[in-house]
Amino acid sequence: MALTSQNGPSNQKQKQGLSFTEYCKGWSVLLYETFFEKISSRHLKSPLPLPPLSDLTIILTGPTSGIGLEVARNLAFSGAHLVMAARNTKAAHDLINQWNHEISYCSDDDEAKQLLDIEVMKLDLLSLQSVVNFAQEWNSRSRPVNVLINNAGILTMGKPQSFSGEDGFETHLQVNHLAPALLTILLLPSLKKGSPSRIVNNSSTGHFLGFVDVDDMNFTSSRRKFSSFKGYSSSKLAQVMFSSILQKMLPAESRISVVCASPGSVRYTNVARDLPRMVQSVLQPLSFFLYTPKEGCRSVLYAATYPQVQDYTESLKAQDSPVCAYINHDCSFGCVSKKAQKLETSIKVWEKTLDMIGLPSDAVDKLLNG
């Protein structure tokens, strides 16, 4: 499928950020989620009951802390073959040992005492080469992937702008968007083998406050002043826009779904570990309103395993929707931000992303058709 952006000269002055209305709307969505998420999701069970998963192979990035750790635990305890794609492989192995220990001591049921079906593979999203190595190693096994969950992410609050050592990209952009995009595209042959399959991106309501300048995704021109939150929210917006075009590029018969899921505002994760102590203590009272990771993992688990999500993505595809499926923190089907609905910009983000990660424009076709 060919989608191309219009690159002709434009008389319109290019906007370099959000309008006042978009800014207010973004904050109101974020604050509403923060203060009312527990109320709006009181109908949801915690832990979320999962369908049987023993036939599924699921690759999960960032399984060693916060939301990812809870996603990993729930999937593994429900019988999935879980591949923990971790930067810190020792932490991942320690978790497996801990969980196996838990099972063998807490259960009287001999069947339940069977060891969990988990493996660990090294993946550092700050290195595109590490992503390529991961995908090559997995694809060389010729084994299917039923679900890929791009969960790993960073928000380096309070730190100066930084760039990935090997690749030179702004770190939020690389870890939250570019590297997961590369991983997703390179794993398409395995996702095709595991079809019907899903690509689930751990998104964020923060994308409502994002703005992608396609000519400066790295924040290196002087047009926009960098802040960690701008880097974070823009990377999350880029991820949603890229996902929307990916779902358009994938032929319906491939039955590979693309979903973005917002976990809500979640405390006790490491995502805010770089915030200065003083800011952390000021934010402390807020934690009363926030989800725990056990609650925050539910929308991702729902997106990854519930059958109605597949039906929903297929209906969006049939309607030629300009956006991919978006699941809210309370597991309802939601809507992406106005900015994320701009098809023309999404196509530009798609093209620019492929260029930055070194893939040709027909990468999807080539990988799906061998």
Ligand X SMILES: NC(=O)c1ccc[n+]([C@@H]2O[C@H](COP(=O)([O-])OP(=O)(O)OC[C@H]3O[C@@H](n4cnc5c(N)ncnc54)[C@H](OP(=O)(O)O)[C@@H]3O)[C@@H](O)[C@H]2O)c1
CB of 219 to ligand X, least distance (A): 18
CB of 61 to ligand X, least distance (A): 6
Stretch near ligand X under the rule CB under 6 A, chosen from 52-60, 124-132, 187-195, 318-326: 124-132
Interface positions, 125-154, toward ligand X (CB under 6 A) = 125-126, 151-154
- Could you give phi then psi for residue 60, rounded to 5 degrees? -125, 125
* Near ligand X by CB under 6 A: residue from 40, 139, 270, 292: 270
Peptide bond just before 285 cis, omega within 30 deg: no
Nearer to ligand X, 70 or 194 (CB): 70
Interface positions, 160-189, toward ligand X (CB under 6 A) = 175
What CA–CA distance (Å, rounded) separates 358 from 174? 13
CB of 68 to ligand X, least distance (A): 5
CB 53 within 8 A of CB 80: yes
Q: Which two tokens stand for residue 243?
A: 């996902």
Strands in 190-349 per DSSP E: 197-202, 256-261, 325-327
Nearer to ligand X, 33 or 354 (CB): 33
CB of 208 to ligand X, least distance (A): 11
**Residue 156 contacts ligand X per CB under 6 A:** no
**Residue 299 contacts ligand X per CB under 6 A:** no
Peptide bond just before 276 cis, omega within 30 deg: no
Among all residues, which ones are annotated catalytic?
232
CB 326 within 8 A of CB 211: no
CB 262 within 8 A of CB 54: no
CB 351 within 8 A of CB 5: yes
Start-to-end CA span in the chain (Å) = 16
Interface positions, 306-335, toward ligand X (CB under 6 A) = none
Q: Which two tokens stand for residue 191?
A: 């996702």
Stretch near ligand X under the rule CB under 6 A, chosen from 2-10, 258-266, 333-341, 358-366: 258-266
User: Helix crossing, 307-318 with 228-249: angle to 10°?
Assistant: 70
CB of 332 to ligand X, least distance (A): 16
Stretch near ligand X under the rule CB under 6 A, chosen from 72-80, 119-127, 136-144, 355-363: 119-127
Residues touching ligand X, count (CB under 6 A): 27
* Near ligand X by CB under 6 A: residue from 41, 57, 74, 202: 202
* Near ligand X by CB under 6 A: residue from 245, 266, 309, 327: 266
CB 105 within 8 A of CB 70: no
What CA–CA distance (Å, rounded) separates 137 from 133? 6
Q: Among 303, 278, 21, which residue's Cα sits nearest to residue 147?
A: 303
CB of 337 to ligand X, least distance (A): 14
Question: Do β-strands 81-86 and 57-61 pair in parallel, antiparallel, or remain unpaired?
Answer: parallel
Nearer to ligand X, 153 or 317 (CB): 153
Interface positions, 57-116, toward ligand X (CB under 6 A) = 61-62, 64-68, 87-88, 91
Q: Tell me which residues touch ligand X (CB under 6 A).
A: 61-62, 64-68, 87-88, 91, 123-126, 151-154, 175, 202, 204, 263, 265-266, 269-271
